[in-house]
Amino acid sequence: MAIAHSANASGQTHDLLDHLQKVAQLASTFANKFNARELGHWAGIWPDIGKAHPDFQKYLRTCETDPEKRHRGPEHKGAGTVVAFEKRCELLTFLIAGHHGGLPSKAQLKTWIGQKASSESTPG
């Protein structure tokens, strides 16, 4: 099971798929007030899909066993940012890229996506 967050004080984790579905449902409900239900759905799913990466899962599991390791984990926003970019959804591309750290400029975003896409396609 992939998890969305390391264990809380009670030792409970949150299943990643459940997290993505619940955030998507909530975001789509809020966005529906602006006639943007589908946009809200993807705004709830894409930002955290990178958490499924084995490196991020390893980081979360390490935090469970060694709380002193709770610092910035591996980047997880890149996967969703690239998906939004490939789907030509510029608004969500900016939203996802900025969800940890602030919104980039359009030029910064294009450069970052280019670097991210080429590093993902490079083996090992």
Mean confidence (pLDDT) of the chain: 88
**CA 69, CA 39: separation in Å to the nearest integer?**
35
Indicate whether 123 pLDDT > 50: no
Give the chain's domain count: 1
Indicate whether 65 pLDDT > 80: no
Q: Quickly count: other Cβ atoms within 10 Å of residue 72's Cβ.
A: 8
Whole-prediction pTM value?
0.81
pLDDT top residue among 119 and 92: 92
Domain hosting 45: range is 3-121
Kindly state the average pLDDT of the residues 82-98.
Answer: 92
**CA 122, CA 116: separation in Å to the nearest integer?**
10
